[in-house]
Structure 1
């Protein structure tokens, strides 16, 4: 892992334009998302917590200024396996978002 912030910034910019966020999907009262990021208990986020009825906008709005890809860490329940693999795959939007939340610049 390097300290090159331009690599993360460039990757983040590319992801922001190429990958739709989970929140872009219209929500219904039964939509369920699971948070796959690191624990941020002071901000109300716990790994593997399920949110019913949509994303936890209270936490996302609070953190989005510092972690622009945070929405990538909320997986629709029906895509949990895909998202769990993506969090562990270098270069994916979910991986970059997870690293941002940990404060790691790659």
Structure 2
């Protein structure tokens, strides 16, 4: 499958009410990794992985890897739920953070639990 075809499939998967404008040729795709800041300005740059729970509606799935930093289209979600950003960690810290997620009282555990409770209550 070509990259253009993959982009079209992903674009078609975006619900119409979330698309901006009527012209689909000019809108960004999920494969376009738009980043709003440099690595020094944005701590979410670089290869990172989301270790939190799956969010309803497929908004963000556990183990999603961001190779070029966190894409701009996730910014509203991160603003809504700051705990999500706490669980987007450098790939090389994955095993350490996963161990902390199950350890009661750690910031990672608290963030994970808050996302679980917030996601269910707020329909994230």
TM-score above 0.5: yes
Q: 2:43 aligns with which of 16, 20, 25?
A: 25
Q: Secondary structure at the match of 2:49?
A: strand
Confirm whether residue 90 of structure 1 aligns to residue 104 of structure 2.
Answer: yes
Higher relative contact order (CA 8 A, sep 6+): 1
1:69 and 1:93 in contact (8 A); partners too: no
Larger Rg: 2
User: Which residues of structure 2 form unaligned runs of 5+?
Assistant: 1-40, 119-124
**TM-score (ref. length: structure 2):** 0.53
1:61 matched residue in structure 2 = 76
Q: How many residues in Structure 1 have an aligned counterpart in Structure 2?
A: 78
2:44 and 2:70 in contact (8 A); partners too: no
**Structure 1 vs Structure 2 CA RMSD:** 2.4
Deviant stretches of 4+, over 6 Å: none
**TM-score (ref. length: structure 1):** 0.61
